Amino acid sequence: MTGSSSHQIKNICVFGGSSPGKEKEFLESANHLGQVLAERKIHLVYGGGSLGLMGCVSIAVFLGGSQVLGVVPKALAKRDIIEKTIGEELQVSTMSDRMNAMFDHADAFIALLGGLGTLEEIFHISSWAHLNIHQKPIGLLNVNGFYDNLLSFLDHAVEHNFLTSSA
């Protein structure tokens, strides 16, 4: 098509917990996401390691034949906190460098379930989108309503004019 601005997604950055969570559907969704990415020949960019949901999605992508890039701060790699990265590992100096590298290597972002680190990543990348630093797609995988309260809070912030509805 001429004049089309459609953009092929080749690399997706997935944010998510280094814990598996307490419901079996959490790991199942991470595994399924990894399988779908591999089936579509989409490569994974993530925060590295093999623990929890992040480890599950990375293993599924890798076993499915797609490339995996784990971006790991040297301090975490040295202390072996996140265990072995499946696929290629890019070591960076700081957590900020990690975020920048994941951003640079990704065409889109998906957030699995997670804790403070995952929330930080979601808000970081969403804030950049709001500031027009990028226009890359961002999605939440809201398994079992995990993000319902967060979405309600964001609606609340819109109602009180701290966010625009487009944000």
CB 97 within 8 A of CB 70: no
* 5 found inside a domain: no
Looking at 16-119, which runs of residues are DSSP E strands?
A: 43-46, 68-73, 88-92, 108-111
- What's the token pair of residue 107? 């065409």
Structure confidence by residue, pLDDT tens digits, 27-49: 999 999 999 999 999 999 999 98
pLDDT confidence band for 1 (50 / 70 / 90): very low
Which pTM value belongs to this model?
Answer: 0.90
pLDDT surpassing 80 at residue 144: yes
**Domain range spanning residue 36?**
11-159
Mean pLDDT of 73-96: 83
Structural domain count, the chain: 1
Residue 6 domain-assigned (yes or no): no
With 90 as the cut, is the pLDDT of residue 102 above it? yes
